[in-house]
Chain A
């Protein structure tokens, strides 16, 4: 097999460099074969042996398209340069090779599964990249900031090193903020037997606390019986799923679901995040041996769809001007919520402008799959790797992009900034809170 010609700007990631220097061939061989022999089964072999190397997957990948069809970014090349070699050499590779595996699997692939749709055999190429990540994680070959995020999950059970008191304090603060809109709004903590447990991802209390205020108002206006935990288990995000540390992934997901069980709720409603839905709905439960989440999980898109469609939330004033949307891969391509997303966008926007391609076929934001969490050293590469997204968004002529996912939100903000698109990026709840009708009896009294 000819070696791939790879042209990349140098990126210094001290965690990868230090790990490459200390890994021994024996360690690598042991871990590679342990993972392949004990954790992959027939699935990996089937995928590897079914691939006919046609390269049709290339056209699916935003990295490939954004680099003028540079074949080194094609999904098939990512497989060829990683798992094929590991299998062929039975793990007899060096630290520099494992470092390159991590660069490919952790920083150049979003495991968004668009390529699987273009493969004539439907091969889940993202799965193979996750196997590579698993090997890397067990060898501690994980980019610095992603590993730090996973350590945060491991130590605090949330993504952002949020301490228990900071979490509760933030909720109590945002309850007061919500009361600015609706004085009787309440953010009920630890209410056993409530209908809904609402869960969020770590960045909400850390950087985007207004989203907690938003939900306090929305829940009150919709008249729902809900609660949030005052303990660990509130964070539904899971970067361990993406680094390849599946034991921590499972521990985080187990706690999240057991918190819902402890509170005896009927369902978990989660905020606007895609990967968190994947972890809580599929990857985490599967590792635990659950066919599906023991307490059903509803993504924010479906939640808002039900509230608007049922009339529990009425729209008083639609958002003005052209507004477009980003389809989060994990809830649209991989969970089919594209139609519901368009319903709620049309419900709250005067002029909703769809993207092309859209829905299941939309491009990834390039931040998902843990790629934004590899941090500042890799930011430029990530943003340059999604020029097609910038071009797609620009074509809509919209002034605002709605991103019902935290990774999409941050990734698209970076794209808007880098390509100077001059667009705003908002969560759906930011638009809804301005558009929704607040019944007279809930409004603040005039002074």
Chain B
């Protein structure tokens, strides 16, 4: 797990970099990223013709590269990026490239503690998942990898992969199944027409996905074994947070969407649409984004929709730590709104990022955008300064403080403020 406790929660304000100077120093400066602990800010910068580097706070990486992209900090605040040397690709971590070079590398992912760094790689026209410089061995040559997931502890990596070649316009071959799930390098026994919506249980023991059995026939497959029930359509499954044998997914029957757990419909009410089912932290409640009628969106908690509806869309709901409250970002008549338990909090914004609850559940904190500036909003109301760039606020483990990282007049600040002050 991420050791948030060890971060600096005492320093009220640190100015860690003057990014405005980067623009004078380098030919081009890309959009910045910050480390999870807020201590570092980094941007890919162009230093010459066909030469790129990364500026990190007041310095740069030692060695420039021909190309750099997808710079991302790991949870333990190491800076990774995908780079080329002599027209071959690899991962660089804090400026040091992996020894193995690839035809291509993409989609960096991390374990929760950042110890595991993974990516999809292609070498000698064979695709694989590479973990900390080592490509997972697979008994078959993978023709393609559509996507992959990594467990919290980084020990389970599951990929949606094409395990068989397919000729041009080979409809029969396609319907026989060319796609499977490869878990830590081992493909499931059976192939499927298509695989979507990969999920790994919190304990890393089980892997589930949607599969397509025929043109209009879908189901859920767990560790390679399909549910007995099939549906007209499904969306991505989700594991119960504490019970890796319980899987919940939206399913479509007779033109309506229902929520099903382990193949059995558990919400008796059907919806025009049902998405983003989310368990409460203890797993006792489920919230989902639903449309009881066309273009009337709301949240249903344990099958009961809120009275308030919104006319454009809703994003994924989130529970308070005690599982009693639900917050969601809604869009109505062109404005984004923060909604908690069916009530709009504050005003509408041009954009709202995923909210977080305070540990007590009484405050909902999020990043918002208004008129091209960014700010932190608490219960829907802007608190404090506006920024030209801002990252999602982080609440301290004891719930007393909030870390706010943003750029003002080109200067990058890491601030810690008492939650009671905002």
The residues of A with any CB-CB pair to B shorter than 8 Å are 15, 38-39, 137-138, 140, 144-145, 147-148, 151, 154-157, 163-165, 168-169, 172, 184, 186, 188-193, 230-232, 245, 247, 250-251, 261, 264, 266, 288-292, 294, 375
Known contacts: A140-B215, A155-B162, A184-B28. The answer to whether A290 contacts B171 by CB under 8 A is: no
> Would you call A294 and B331 a contact (CB within 8 A)?
yes
Expressed in whole angstroms, the Cα–Cα distance for A289 and B311 within the complex equals 10
- A15 neighbours in B (Cβ, 8 Å): 171
B30 touching A288 by the CB < 8 A rule?
Answer: no
User: Is B174 an interface residue when CB atoms closer than 8 A count as contact?
Assistant: yes
Question: Of all chain A residues, which has the CB nearest B389?
Answer: A193
Chain B residues in the interface with A (C-beta under 8 A): 27-28, 30-31, 67, 69-70, 103-104, 106-107, 120, 122, 144-147, 162, 168-171, 174, 178-179, 193-194, 196, 212, 215-216, 218, 232-233, 252, 254-255, 272-273, 291, 294-295, 297, 311-313, 315, 331, 350-351, 353, 369
Q: Are the C-beta atoms of A247 and B216 separated by less than 8 Å? A: yes
Write 28 A-B pairs (CB below 8 A) sorted by A numbering.
A39-B255, A137-B216, A140-B215, A154-B193, A155-B146, A155-B162, A156-B144, A156-B146, A157-B146, A164-B145, A165-B106, A168-B106, A172-B69, A186-B28, A191-B31, A192-B31, A193-B369, A230-B70, A230-B107, A245-B215, A247-B216, A247-B232, A247-B233, A266-B350, A288-B273, A289-B295, A291-B294, A291-B312
Contact in complex: A165, B218 (CB < 8 Å): no
**Do the beta carbons of A137 and B215 come within 8 Å of each other?**
yes
Q: Is the CB of A247 within 8 A of B218?
A: yes
Is B273's CB under 8 angstroms from A164's CB? no
The verdict on A290 contacting B312 (CB below 8 Å), with A164-B106, A165-B104, A165-B106 known, is yes
B313 contacts A294, CB within 8 Å?
Answer: yes
9 smallest beta-carbon distances between A and B, as pairs? A289-B273, A291-B295, A294-B313, A289-B291, A165-B104, A148-B169, A289-B272, A247-B233, A163-B144
Considering the chains assembled together, what is the distance between the CA atoms of A418 and B143 in angstroms? 38
Write out the residue numbers on chain B whose beta carbons fall within 8 Å of the beta carbon of A145: 169
Contact A164–B171 (Cβ < 8 Å): no
Task: Please measure, in the bound complex, the distance between the C-alpha atom of A231 and the C-alpha atom of B162, giving whole angstroms.
Answer: 17
Q: How far is the CB of B44 from chain A (nearest CB, A)?
A: 10
In whole angstroms, how far apart are the Cα atoms of A184 and B29 in the complex? Answer: 11
Contact A138 B215 (CB under 8 A): yes
Q: Which residue of B lies closest to A292 (CB)?
A: B312
- A144's partner among B27, B70, B169, B291 (CB-CB below 8 A) is B169
Distance (whole angstroms) from the CB of A303 to the closest CB of chain B: 19
Whether the Cβ atoms of B315 and A151 lie closer than 8 Å is no
- Tell whether, in the assembled complex, residue B146 and residue A232 are in contact, meaning their CB atoms are under 8 Å apart: yes
Q: Which residues of A contact B194 (CB under 8 A)?
A: 154-155
Q: Determine whether the beta carbon of A264 is less than 8 Å from that of B351.
A: yes
Tell which of A137, A163, A164, A264 touches B107, judged by Cβ atoms closer than 8 Å: A164
Task: Please state if A172 and B67 are interface contacts (CB–CB under 8 Å).
Answer: yes
**B196 contact set on A, CB distance < 8 A:** 251
B69 touches A289 (CB 8 A): no
Q: Is the CB of A261 within 8 A of B315?
A: yes
Whether A164 and B31, one on each chain, are in contact in the complex, defined by CB atoms closer than 8 angstroms, is: no
For the complex, what is the distance from the CA of A192 to the CA of B295, rounded to whole Å?
27
Distance from A285 Cβ to chain B, minimum over Cβ atoms (Å): 9
CB distance from B375 to the nearest CB of A (A): 14
> Is there contact, CB below 8 Å, between A151 and B174?
yes
CB distance from A441 to the nearest CB of B (A): 13
Q: In the complex, A193→B388 CA distance in Å?
A: 12
Q: In the docked arrangement, what's the CA distance between A31 and B31, Å? A: 52
| A247 to B234 alpha-carbon distance, docked (Å) | 9
Q: Which residues of A contact B233 (CB under 8 A)?
A: 247, 250-251
B294 touches which of A192, A193, A289 (Cβ 8 Å): A289
Q: Please name the residue on chain B nearest to A163 by beta carbon.
A: B144
Which residues in A have their C-beta under 8 angstroms from that of B162? 155
Chain B contacts of A245 at CB under 8 A? 215-216
Q: Once the chains bind, are B69 and A189 in contact (CB under 8 Å)?
A: yes
For B69, B312, B313, which residue has the most chain A Cβ atoms within 10 angstroms? B313
| Nearest A residue to B102, CB-CB | A165
The distance in angstroms between the C-alpha atoms of A154 and B122, with both chains bound, is: 22
Q: Which residues of B contact A165 (CB under 8 A)?
A: 103-104, 106, 120, 122
- Contact, CB under 8 Å: B169 / A290: no
- Inter-chain contacts of B232 with A (CB < 8 A): 247
| Min C-beta distance of A88 to chain B, whole Å | 24
**Among A144, A230, A266, contact of B106 (Cβ-Cβ < 8 Å):** A230
| Residues on B with beta carbons closer than 8 Å to the beta carbon of A264 | 351, 353
The CA of A190 and the CA of B70, in the complex, are separated in Å by 8
B122, B169, B193, most chain A CB atoms within 10 A: B169
CA distance A408 to B84 in the complex (A): 39
List residues of chain B with CB within 8 A of the CB of A148.
168-171, 174
Determine how close the nearest CB of chain A comes to the CB of B339; give it in whole angstroms: 15
Chain B residues whose CB sits within 8 angstroms of the CB of A155 once the complex forms: 146, 162, 174, 178-179, 194
From residue B147, how far is it (CB to closest CB) to chain A in Å? 7
B297 — nearest CB in chain A belongs to which residue? A289
> When the two chains form their complex, are residues B216 and A294 in contact, meaning their CB atoms are under 8 A apart?
no
CA distance in complex: A94, B360 (Å)? 66
Which chain A residue has the least Cβ–Cβ distance from B272? Answer: A289
Is B169 within 8 A of A164, CB to CB? no
Q: Contacts A144-B171, A165-B122 given; indicate if A291 touches B147 (C-beta within 8 A).
A: no
How distant is B313 from chain A, measured CB to nearest CB, in Å?
A: 4
Give every chain A residue within 8 A of B312 (Cβ-Cβ).
290-292, 294
Closest approach, in angstroms, between the C-beta of A66 and any C-beta of chain B? Answer: 28
Residue contact B212 to A164, C-beta cutoff 8 Å:
no
> Which residues of the other chain, B, contact A192 by a CB distance below 8 angstroms?
31
With A38-B254, A169-B104 known as contacts, the answer to whether A188 contacts B216 (CB < 8 A) is no
Docked pose: A155 CA to B353 CA in angstroms:
30
Nearest-CB distance from B365 to chain A (Å)? 17
CA distance A190 to B33 in the complex (A): 12
CA distance A231 to B147 in the complex (A): 9
In the bound complex, residues from chain B placing their C-beta under 8 Å from that of A147 are 171
Chain A neighbourhood of B122, CB < 8 A? 165
Please, which residues of chain A bring their CB within 8 A of the CB of B313? 261, 290, 294
Quick one: closest A residue to B234, CB to CB?
A: A247
Question: Within 8 Å CB of A191, what residues of B?
Answer: 31
Other than the known A137-B216, A193-B369, what 5 A-B pairs have Cβ atoms closer than 8 Å? A144-B169, A164-B106, A247-B218, A247-B252, A294-B312
Residues in B neighbouring A38, C-beta threshold 8 A: 254-255
User: A147 vs B179: C-alpha distance in the bound complex, in angstroms?
Assistant: 17
- Smallest CB separation, B266 vs chain A (Å): 21
- When C-beta atoms are compared, the residue in chain B nearest to A192 turns out to be B31
Are B31 and A151 touching (Cβ within 8 A)?
Answer: no
Please name all residues of chain B whose beta carbon is closer than 8 Å to the beta carbon of A250 when the two chains form the complex: 233
Check B169–A291 contact: CB distance below 8 A.
Answer: no
The docked-state distance in angstroms from the alpha carbon of A148 to that of B295 is 33
Contact status A291-B215, CB under 8 Å: no
Closest B residue to A245 by CB, please name it: B215
Of the candidates A138, A172, A232, A289, the one whose C-beta lies within 8 Å of that of B147 is A232
Q: How far is the CA of A190 from the CA of B272 in the complex (A)?
A: 31
With both chains docked as a complex, state the minimum distance between the C-beta of A286 and any C-beta of chain B, in angstroms: 8
Nearest CB in chain B: distance from A216 CB, A? 14
A292 contacts across to B, CB distance below 8 A:
312
User: Cβ of A188 and Cβ of B31 under 8 Å apart?
Assistant: yes
| B193: chain A residues within 8 A (beta carbon) | 154
- How many Å lie between the Cα of A155 and that of B369 in the bound state? 36
For residue B316, give the distance in angstroms from its CB to the closest CB of chain A: 10
- CA of A250 to CA of B272, assembled, Å: 13
Chain B proximity of A381: nearest CB distance (Å)? 19
- Give Cα A314 to B162, complex, Å: 47
- Docked pose: A251 CA to B331 CA in angstroms: 21
Residues of A within 8 A of B103 (CB): 165
